[in-house]
Amino acid sequence: PICVAKTQSSFTTDPDAKGVPLGHTIPIREVRLSAGAEFVVVICGDIMTMPGLPRVPAANNIELAADGRISGLF
């Protein structure tokens, strides 16, 4: 599958363009392979992406002792 990362405000990469403009070309800035997720990410316009999560979330290391002490945060 292909994931297109662009503004959510428009079909184009211009957030101010409304509707479906005719003749618009989407500029592709970068193409990334997300091999673990098995898809390709196409980065368009000035969009920024969020980092992916690790295989084991950091929350798995957090423990709460009976006396209320928290460990495993860092």
pTM of whole model > 0.75? no
CA dihedral 21, 3, 51, 71 (to 10 degrees): 130
Q: Which letter, b or e, does each residue of 27-44 get, where b requires 16 or more Cβ atoms within 10 Å of its Cβ?
A: eeeeeeeeeeeeeebebb
Query: Looking at the 3D structure of the chain, how many domains does it have?
Result: 1
Which secondary structure element, helix H or strand E, spans residue 32, and what is its range? strand 28-34
> What CATH number corresponds to the domain at position 41?
3.10.410.10
The 10s digit of each residue's pLDDT in 1-58 is: 888 888 878 888 888 888 778 888 888 999 999 888 899 999 988 888 888 778 888 8
Nearest-angstrom CA–CA distance, 1 and 64: 40
pLDDT of residue 64: 95
Q: Region 55-62: what's the mean pLDDT?
A: 90
**Between residues 37 and 71, the one the model is more confident about:** 71
Print the domain residue range for 35. 2-71
pLDDT of residue 65: 95
